[in-house]
Amino acid sequence: MYLSKFQLKNFRNYSDSTIELGTGLNYFVGENGQGKSNFLEAVYALSIGKSFRTSSIRSLIKFDNNSTDSFVRGIANQDNSVLDLSLILNLDKDSSRTTKKYLFNGSDISSIDFIGKLNVVLFEARDLNIIIGNPAERRKFLDIHISQQDHSYLRALQRYNKVLTSRNKVLKEIKLRKSTRIELEFWTEKIVEDGSIIFKERMKRLNQIRDETIKVFSNLVRNDERLEISFRPSFRDFGTDITIERIHSLYNQISDKEIAAGTTLIGPHRDDFEIFVNNKSSSEFSSRGQIRTITLALKLGEANVISKNKNQAPILALDDVLSELDERRRKTVMDYISDYEQILLTAPNSDLINYDLKKSDVFKVHSGNIIQN
Ligand code: ATP
Ligand code: MG
């Protein structure tokens, strides 16, 4: 799958820019603050239906523009078919209300149906938080990965989050004698149901990512550094023989504790995973450059899983991936990624890559304009 055409209209610092893209490497070079990340944000928004940087639609619409018309649109080619995807953003100046709309091949569709039509794997600076950040960052990484491929997972996750809020409320109310254990049982049944779907799916998918990431990592480092990924689920010791009944009995065992704490103490909202290099936890012991390499391996591992599951390579969107890497590693990364069908790669200057570029593959990004050579 690859994007052949892309348009940004009143999105971030872009007024109206249209570019034509080719397969292979597309290289976007420009100084700081010119719009490189904004462009990749727009591309990724067509994949996951929202920005990876903000939940505010308002921040995405170009400041001080008089039109109400803001959108990003991509034409993608997949096998012999053409996908036409738009994310339309609207700000009503009188009421200050914002809306989002999704168009697929000319028809309105829901956000859930939109997600994952375009397969993009993004790497950007904040992704280092998957390694060094808190567990919520790692859960988010897994959730986006799975949701792009499995909408029933996304629905279970959305239900789970609502159920969790309600269940926590009831736990607090029981403590204050405003609610009953019968009420709690109602929510426990629901949390077990969706929780087990999420747990199983995360275990299966993380395993796939693990296998691929280990392979990519050994390709990138080419020495004896060995990577390992371990799932740390909240439902520990369950393995694959997990049953709804066993999870339910776990909740029953700790209900007194949960009432005392006034919150749900176990479940996928407490899942985590850990990454090791040579048996040492990478969040604690890896250097910046190593963390970057591990994160990149994880993202490329994810891309390989999507390729296998969907029988089609996702688009790689790599924001400033080469900085902080030494020259040898930069070259190894470039060699490795060049096999993908389409790569969108940004950098502040062209010295970073010593790679044989065709002129047509280079795009200059300057104050909200993308100029094709
Ligand atoms: P760097 O090399 O530093 O990462 P970049 O090229 O990736 O730079 P971007 O993050 O894409 O830069 O663009 C940042 C610019 O976009 C900033 O100057 C910011 O003020 C501007 N910007 C962000 N949101 C909007 C908006 N809604 N309207 C207009 N400009 C915006
Ligand atoms: Mg940037």
Q: Is the pLDDT of residue 238 over 80?
A: no
Q: DSSP character for 260? A: H
Q: Is the pLDDT of residue 309 over 90?
A: yes
CA of 125 to the centre of ligand 1 (A): 14
Mean pLDDT, residues 242-269 taken together: 95
Q: Which domain holds residue 59?
A: 1-119+312-373
Same-domain status, 193 and 281:
yes
Same-domain status, 80 and 140:
no
In a domain, 129, yes or no: no
CA of 269 to the centre of ligand 1 (A): 33
- Per-position DSSP letters for 207-272, written without gaps between them: HHHHHHHHHHHHHHH-SS--EEEEEE-SSTT-TT---HHHHHHHHHHTHHHHHHHTS--SSGGG-E
Same-domain status, 44 and 115:
yes
Same-domain status, 208 and 280:
yes
CA of 303 to the centre of ligand 2 (A): 21
In a domain, 316, yes or no: yes
Mean pLDDT, residues 243-266 taken together: 95
Check pocket membership of 24 for ligand 1, CB cut-off 6 A.
no
pLDDT band, residue 373 (cuts 50/70/90)? confident
Same-domain status, 92 and 171:
no
In a domain, 127, yes or no: no
Is the pLDDT higher at 77 or at 352?
77
pLDDT (0 to 100) of residue 96: 85
Check pocket membership of 139 for ligand 1, CB cut-off 6 A.
no
Please give the backbone phi and psi of residue 163, each rounded to the nearest 5 degrees, phi first. Answer: -60, -40
Q: Is the pLDDT of residue 364 over 90?
A: yes
pLDDT (0 to 100) of residue 352: 63
Mean pLDDT, residues 168-191 taken together: 97
pLDDT (0 to 100) of residue 360: 64
**What's the rounded Cα separation, in Å, for the pair 39 and 21?**
13
pLDDT (0 to 100) of residue 169: 98
pLDDT band, residue 354 (cuts 50/70/90)? low
Q: Is the Cβ–Cβ distance between 21 and 46 less than 8 Å?
A: no
Ligand 2 ion: nearby residues, β-carbon < 5 Å: 36-37
Same-domain status, 112 and 139:
no
Task: Tell me the pLDDT of the chain averaged across its residues.
Answer: 94
Check pocket membership of 33 for ligand 1, CB cut-off 6 A.
yes
Q: Is the Cβ–Cβ distance between 225 and 278 less than 8 Å?
A: yes
Q: Is the pLDDT of residue 25 over 80?
A: yes
What residue's CA is closest to ligand 1, atom 29? Answer: 13
Same-domain status, 174 and 241:
yes
Same-domain status, 332 and 320:
yes
Q: Is 305 exposed, middle or buried (0-12, 13-18, 19+ CB in 10 A)?
A: buried
Tell me the HSE value of 153 on the side-chain side, using a 13 A CA sphere: 20
Q: Is the Cβ–Cβ distance between 39 and 371 less than 8 Å?
A: no
Q: Is the pLDDT of residue 68 over 90?
A: no
Check pocket membership of 64 for ligand 1, CB cut-off 6 A.
no
pLDDT (0 to 100) of residue 64: 84
Query: In the chain, what percentage of residues exceed pLDDT 70?
Result: 97
What residue's CA is closest to ligand 1, atom 30? Answer: 13
In a domain, 182, yes or no: yes
In a domain, 252, yes or no: yes
The last residue of one of the domains, among 310, 325, 355, is 310
Q: Kindly report, residue by residue over 193-212, the tens digit of the pLDDT.
A: 999 999 999 999 999 999 99
Q: DSSP character for 69? A: -
- Structural domains in the chain (count): 2
Beta-carbon neighbour count of residue 190 at 10 Å? Answer: 17
CA 278 to chain centre: 27
Q: Is the pLDDT of residue 355 over 80?
A: no
**What's the rounded Cα separation, in Å, for the pair 355 and 41?**
25
Same-domain status, 151 and 187:
yes
Check pocket membership of 17 for ligand 1, CB cut-off 6 A.
no
Q: Is 75 left (phi over 0), alpha (psi -120 to 50) or beta?
A: beta
Same-domain status, 178 and 74:
no
User: What CATH number has the domain bearing residue 234?
Assistant: 1.20.1050.90
pLDDT (0 to 100) of residue 353: 67
CA of 36 to the centre of ligand 2 (A): 5
Structure tokens at 343: 């790569």
Same-domain status, 6 and 74:
yes
pLDDT (0 to 100) of residue 240: 67
In a domain, 124, yes or no: no
Q: Is the pLDDT of residue 297 over 90?
A: yes
